[in-house]
Amino acid sequence: ASCARPPVSTPSPVTSSKSRFSALNQQVLRFDEEEIKPLRDAERTTLIRHFRTALAQADIVILSDYGKGMLLDGVAGELISICREAGRPVLVDPKGRDYACYSGATAITPNRKELGEAVGRAVFADDEIVAAARKL
């Protein structure tokens, strides 16, 4: 698989920076600096335009939400709607506790930890996982 479209660049967000502090070859502290905010209108329009163009060559779409702002404020839902209109399946690797923003996706694929966070309790056994998935 390939992605022929160039990434959408934006002047506004600060690139995430992670500084690690070590003592005796052991990390003792990590300091993260990042700015998480929704796309501006112009950035969103550009993203949607590029997405529609790239979708014409795609058989399936995977949206990986890293919780960094790209899919905030309805962007995830808009991309999913575009996929549905085009008849393309869309899988979502979610972030956060509210999966309503991924409504309409073909499948949402949280790992066990993410699933537990979404339903508000840890899940370990198979029956707990099934019950939590049904709750979503």
Does the pLDDT value for residue 38 go beyond 70?
yes
Q: Express each pLDDT in 56-73 by its tens digit.
A: 999 999 999 988 888 999
Q: What is the CATH number of domain 36-135?
A: 3.40.1190.20
Q: CA-CA distance, 105 to 90, in Å (whole number)?
A: 5
The pLDDT assigned to 16 comes to 79
Asked whether the beta carbons of 47 and 5 are under 8 A apart, the reply is no
Per-residue pLDDT band at 11 (split at 50, 70, 90): low
C-beta atoms surrounding 79 within 10 Å: 24
The pLDDT assigned to 50 comes to 93
Asked whether the beta carbons of 124 and 112 are under 8 A apart, the reply is yes
**Among 7-21, 33-47, 62-76, 120-134, which is the least confidently predicted range?**
7-21
